[in-house]
Structure 1
Amino acid sequence: MTATALMPSEASQITPPVRPPMSRERKQWLLLALVLAYGVALAVRLRNTAFIDEALYINAGNAYLDHWVNGRPLGDAGAFFSGMPALYPVLAALLDSVGGLYLVRLFSLVCVLGTAMALYGTARQLWGRRAGLLAAATFMLSGPVIFTGWLGTFDALVIFLLALGLWVGLTRRGYPSAVVLGGVLTLAALTKYTAGIFVPVVLAATFVLGFLGARRALVAAGVTLGLLATAWTLWGESLARDVAFTTTARQALSPTTTGALLALVGDHLIFLLLLAAVSLLLMFRAGDRRLLLLGSGLVLASTALPVGQMILGEAVSFEKHLAYSVMLLALPIGWGLARISRYPLMVTPVVMAVLIMALFPLVRADTMYRWTNVRSVVMAIESDPQGGLYISSATDALDYHTRDLPGIAWETTFELYFEGEDRIRAAVGDERYQTVILRSSSVGDPDQDAAQAVFLDALEESAAYALAFEPFPASSAPGDNWLIYTRD
């Protein structure tokens, strides 16, 4: 058999295959991937030395590992933490031992991505793919979320566990999933005690809109209470102490005004709160009481942490805690934007709303990431590493970054300040410290500022201590300099 060549006239009649148009589902998966990639890009561009909480948790986790493996005394490592020190801090220490601070922060980023996917899955199961996409975008396109996603603290993991709890409670069926839900909520509450206030929220959502509603919610509540009771039996004394110190009996560590905290809420959440209000109005008009109850409950719960800190007048962790609010607002906003987009000619306003959300983390995440950088101090210490006891207002971060230098032990100024003026002057007179590292600016608390003024005055009067380096900037704020005194 011989092959016959096509004549030019025949070849011209052959048309190339037409590629089928991209399906709507594939388009939405592509858009979701773009949103997540945008969030990742915003997070990994942030740069700074270890935040005080990152260093504190990793150092405590290493102390626990050393205690378990080598039997060294634990001391007060992990005392007065906002979560069980044997959970996240140990995990952070393990990650740090493998990949350093970058890997610890990468774990937080994975948790944030997991939260976005949990919100996507929840909204998609309940209201469709478009609502899922918009819920995930609402969460991911937020300054507090991007900030938390590149910070090695409890919060990203706890937010993921809460979002996972919503997904299990609202989309899964049967009693085994209720048992899983109870375990997830217990882990969230023990990882960070503040998460306990959101446990009833997730259980209520399961009761209102979940499959088998009341029965699964009761099973999950029973499992949660049983596991928490077991933890209380085993570690009740330390849990009671830490919960009281960090939540129920907390004193403001960085007091500020309600107006200043309201301004931060406005910076980060005003647009989302407006969208949430519109969504609740649409839920009311839709006439679905269960949907309205779910949306109202999530929006109300989103105000719990910021309102609590406003009552306390506490600025510490305020912006970071707004990431919890964003997670809770994401589901009702996702539903509302999806609903609006189905009205004639309303797709464009929804797209514009998403683009507006995307602008916020460009600036706000950078602003939150500008804590005091200790790189210059670390370089100064490494240039002439003298053994002995060091003291600083940034002890945890400096201890983390200088842990490979032999012979250096660290003490925090806060412990000395609590001892009073006479003990501060006595410590300088007795030449207790090899090196003293302070910032010239306020530490945010009037009592500690007064104690630091006494400390600086005693150092200036002492013949044993002198500035080892000319003051150099600690931040971009005017007059905020590092002061490094060494014993002659």
Structure 2
Amino acid sequence: MAAPAREVAATSSRSSRPARERLLRLLPLAAVLLLQAVLSLRLSNSAFQDEALYLYYGHWTIDHWLNGADLYSNPSAWFTGAPQLYPVLAALLDSVGGLELARLFSTLCLLSATAAVHWTANSLFGRPGQVRVGVFAALVFAVSGPVLVLTHFATYDAPSYAAVAWALAVGVWVACGERERSRWWAVSVGGLLALAVLLKYASAIDAPFVLLAVAASSLGASRRWRGLMTSLVAGSAAIAVLALSAATWARPLVQGVIDSTIRRQSLAPETTAQLLGRVVSDAGPMIALGLLGGLLVLRSRPALGAVLLVASVAAPLYQVHTGESVSLHKTVVLGLVFGAPLAGRLCAALVDRWWGTPLVAAALLGSLVHGASVSERIFTSWPDTAPLAQALAPIVRSTPGIRIAGENPEPLQYALQEQTQPWQWVSTYDGAFRYEGLSDLPAFERALSDGQLGVVFLDGSSDIGRRLEPRMASLGYTQTTVVRTPDGGHEWVVWQPSREDPVD
């Protein structure tokens, strides 16, 4: 071979080697992401109440924007995230591919969050040429039960938490990098934090921790100043975006933020001991690894260790403080965004010792088994409403404009959206129904006596429903069917008017 040809071949070989090495370093992360996808996509159930609510209101909002459809409700006053953002996007996805496509969007969001956790851990604790800290962190995050649930769950949470994870990853990358990076990267961190808060207001609890972690992540005098400046620029950008939003398109949301998040009343209160038990049950092994890793980091980098430790438990402990049990497992995911890198640091330190490798293997395997079990339990904790939707479908088709009342009606409202209009649906929530100047139970009793409700389905999940069911026959209604879930663990009683009075 001629000399020039040999030189070209050598140059080509040298240039392709780093590419191959980068690809090989990404293979463990790819395996973690594949495992997360498989474990989450195996979960199956009909739409959860919140999923159905957001998708339905997203469709309704689009109809209002395009066709001027009347909005009979004001979700801005009680949604826990901006109704104009995620619900509209999810509804567009639902129009194309149904609930599964909307859930797949969440899958992509949480898979990207796992990649961000991997990047964060490597930026903070990785050694040159090593990626095991990030792989361990990604694995701890990916196999936790709450993460697996949200990876296949069409609500605000997945995109909001992914934005938090990427804000942290980009922020520490800028602060810890060898080279000075553009201030625009810091601005992007602020934009991600603002997006996370707009998508889900409760994510605001972790925005300060992202900024503190970025400020504390730098090493040496020059980089410490870089981390502080990155944090200040990112925080200023986030405040600017949120302030501008509050002054313009999001102005109607301000009172809703206060009522739905800051002054929110507990929907299902439990004691502190019960709530802490739930947190441990949902993600105990992963939280324990993070806490132990935090203690390890405290020894060498006390400021960073303290910030990540507090951030890893701040969101779930705040909800425990409020006494609210609803969606408690979601706050655990926010904590793991900060706790998983600490767990990765612990695992990487242990495998450097001969006795630590089997310990880490056992801990990670136990976490995987625990997460798979917890995710299955959470994802099957609500009843499969598909049989009830099938039972109601011929009734609403044969009687257009019929008023439909029931407990937790959102999944049915979503499932039957092509056959019904929003005004047809009546729920048994306190304060949700008014009739003839009455509200709640008296309003239902009068409306039922007048034959104004064409079909009623009850399962005893609300106080009004439990008090109505024994009186349905005396109020002029006949039990027409009993619908059970496929596993037989839940049932609804369907009632229709006994007489053929006209329904206005």
Which TM-score band (shorter chain)? 0.7 to 0.9
Say which is worse superposed, 333-342 or 111-120, in terms of deviation. Answer: 333-342
Residue 350 of structure 1 pairs with residue 363 of structure 2: no
Conservation of the 8 A alpha-carbon contact between 2:183 and 2:230: yes
State the match for 1:434 in structure 2. Answer: 454
- What is the rounded CA distance, in whole Å, between the counterparts of 2:83 and 2:421 in structure 1? 26
Change (3 A) 1:476 1:302: farther
Residue 178 of structure 1 pairs with residue 186 of structure 2: yes
Conservation of the 8 A alpha-carbon contact between 1:372 and 1:474: no
Paired letter, 2:108:
V
State the match for 1:17 in structure 2. Answer: none
Provide the identity percentage. Answer: 31
Equivalenced residue count is 453
- What is the rounded CA distance, in whole Å, between the counterparts of 2:173 and 2:109 in structure 1? 20
State the match for 1:338 in structure 2. Answer: 348
Correspondence 1:230-309 to 2 at 5 A: 230-235=244-249, 238-285=252-299, 287=300, 289=301, 292-309=302-319
Conservation of the 8 A alpha-carbon contact between 2:428 and 2:440: no
Paired letter, 1:331:
P
Change (3 A) 1:482 1:462: same
Listed one character per residue, the Cα deviations across residues 289-308 of structure 1 (whole Å, up to 9, x for unaligned) are 3xx32232122122222222
Conservation of the 8 A alpha-carbon contact between 2:478 and 2:495: yes
- Tell me which of 455, 460, 469 is aligned to 2:473: 460
Report the CA distance between 1:36 and its aligned residue: 1.6
Residue 75 of structure 1 pairs with residue 72 of structure 2: yes
State the match for 1:38 in structure 2. Answer: 35
Listed one character per residue, the Cα deviations across residues 221-264 of structure 1 (whole Å, up to 9, x for unaligned) are 11111111111112565323211222211111122222221221
RMSD, aligned CA? 2.2
- What is the rounded CA distance, in whole Å, between the counterparts of 2:362 and 2:26 in structure 1? 20
Correspondence 1:49-448 to 2 at 5 A: 49-79=46-76, 80-128=78-126, 129-172=131-174, 173-210=181-218, 212-235=226-249, 238-285=252-299, 287=300, 289=301, 292-370=302-380, 371-385=382-396, 386-387=399-400, 388-405=402-419, 409-414=424-429, 415-416=432-433, 419-440=439-460, 443=461, 448=462
Report the CA distance between 1:475 and its aligned residue: 6.8
State the match for 1:15 in structure 2. Answer: none
Change (3 A) 1:329 1:476: farther
* Alignment gaps of 5+ in structure 1: 1-19
- What is the rounded CA distance, in whole Å, between the counterparts of 1:41 and 1:330 in structure 2? 20
Listed one character per residue, the Cα deviations across residues 112-149 of structure 1 (whole Å, up to 9, x for unaligned) are 11011111122223332111111111110100000011
Normalising by structure 1, report the TM-score. Answer: 0.87
Conservation of the 8 A alpha-carbon contact between 2:145 and 2:283: no
- What is the rounded CA distance, in whole Å, between the counterparts of 1:336 and 1:274 in structure 2? 11
Report the CA distance between 1:425 and its aligned residue: 1.2
Say which is worse superposed, 30-39 or 131-140, in terms of deviation. Answer: 30-39
Change (3 A) 1:470 1:168: closer
Conservation of the 8 A alpha-carbon contact between 1:474 and 1:482: no
- What is the rounded CA distance, in whole Å, between the counterparts of 1:133 and 1:324 in structure 2? 19
2:311 is paired with a residue whose SS is helix
Paired letter, 2:473:
E
Listed one character per residue, the Cα deviations across residues 181-212 of structure 1 (whole Å, up to 9, x for unaligned) are 11111111111000111111111111111551
Paired letter, 2:31:
L
2:473 is paired with a residue whose SS is helix
- What is the rounded CA distance, in whole Å, between the counterparts of 1:348 and 1:471 in structure 2? 50
- What is the rounded CA distance, in whole Å, between the counterparts of 1:350 and 1:223 in structure 2? 40
- What is the rounded CA distance, in whole Å, between the counterparts of 2:441 and 2:85 in structure 1? 37
Conservation of the 8 A alpha-carbon contact between 2:279 and 2:328: no
Conservation of the 8 A alpha-carbon contact between 1:119 and 1:163: yes
Report the CA distance between 1:216 and its aligned residue: 1.6
Listed one character per residue, the Cα deviations across residues 434-458 of structure 1 (whole Å, up to 9, x for unaligned) are 1111113xx3xxxx41x22332244
Change (3 A) 1:28 1:268: farther
Paired letter, 1:466:
T
